[in-house]
A = this chain, B = another copy of it.
Amino acid sequence: MTASITPISATVDFDKEGIQHGHLVLPHSHDESAWGSIMIPVCVVKNGSGPTVLMTGANHGDEYEGPVALWDLARTIDPKQVSGRVIIVPAMNYPAFRAGRRTSPIDGGNMNRSFPGNSDGGPTAKIAHYFMSALLPLADIVVDLHSGGRTLDFLPFAAAHILPNQAQEKACVEAMMAFCAPYAVMLLELDAVSTYDTAAESLGKIFVTTELSGGGTSSAETARIAKRGVTNLLRHAGVLPGAVEGPQSQRLDMPDGRCYTPAQAPGLVEWMKDLGDEVKAGEVIARVHDVERTGTVPVDHVAGVDGLFMGRHFPGIVQFGDTLGVIGVTVD
């Protein structure tokens, strides 16, 4: 179904030199406006020859380091310094971003489960289809900035995937390391179907993603990591001059499902460890209390492997089956 024509049009010309600030216009006929549109901000900077880097934030609408770094980049980038092209879509699932939600309030769409999209579906599917058919083909390097959102929190890391094409994987790993996030993770995603990652990689692109903290907010510190990372990637690609700057990322690995500690009961979470703490397999990372009465024994949840506590459920209450904690194994 992805072969059909997108209803989305851009108010910018991707082939024009200089910097343009415009919108991806997605017609949206709904009860509150029969002839309305979703106006997705886009910025394109083009100068001279060089590769194209496509940068996105708010693939999930409640993740903010990406939008902050990209709104800042779009405002401050000097087109004369550019060699090649930068396409910035700072809020990819724009309806979700406006609502401050992971998914679109219009169609419930989780953008990262919507690829390759559909020109005849809801707004989320139409945006995915537009990236698949119009933007990804323009790009050499693709950067998609995630954070944990309102319900997860992470140590800040950049990530790449194990790929069948070793040359592509190597290029991705190099780009991941060029981001200079505090941590770098080689992700073996358990559920990679329909993601933007897989879509971009299947088209042969160099793809880097991140998780840069979470909780549905950002901070000066995590925004600095994001801003430094996007600049570093543009330097790494040769689109901006100069050398990559920043610390060497600490490598973490997630060898198997024991890295994940799922909640065994619903309740109030009493954390025994914080992100960044070293933990041993079998050590209690959190207790879950029955919220209906006091005086009962909480359910202990333990680490499945030795490593660094790198990700956790964010809200104070957890449901049975939620991922409660994630442990990353330190790689020398």
A contact set with B: CB distance below 8 Å: 7, 19, 21, 23, 25, 27, 29-39, 41-43, 60, 62, 64, 67-68, 70-72, 74-75, 88, 90-91, 97-98, 100-103, 110, 113, 120, 148-153, 191, 193-194, 215-221, 223, 262, 265-266, 268-274, 277, 289, 291-298, 313-317, 319-323
Partner of A218, one of B71, B75, B271: B271
Partner of A41, one of B33, B62, B294, B316: B294
Chain B residues with CB under 8 A of A221: 274
Decide: B262 and A71 in contact? CB cutoff 8 A: no
Decide: A41 and B268 in contact? CB cutoff 8 A: no
Decide: B43 and A60 in contact? CB cutoff 8 A: no
Nearest-Cβ distance from residue A81 to partner chain B, whole angstroms: 16
Decide: A220 and B274 in contact? CB cutoff 8 A: yes
Decide: B7 and A294 in contact? CB cutoff 8 A: no
Partner of A268, one of B23, B71, B151: B71
Chain B residues with CB under 8 A of A277: 220
When chains A and B are docked, how far (Å) is the Cα of A165 from the Cα of B142?
46
Decide: A291 and B98 in contact? CB cutoff 8 A: yes
Nearest-Cβ distance from residue A96 to partner chain B, whole angstroms: 9
When chains A and B are docked, how far (Å) is the Cα of A33 from the Cα of B25?
30
Closest B residue to A193 using CB positions: B120
Partner of A31, one of B102, B266, B314: B102
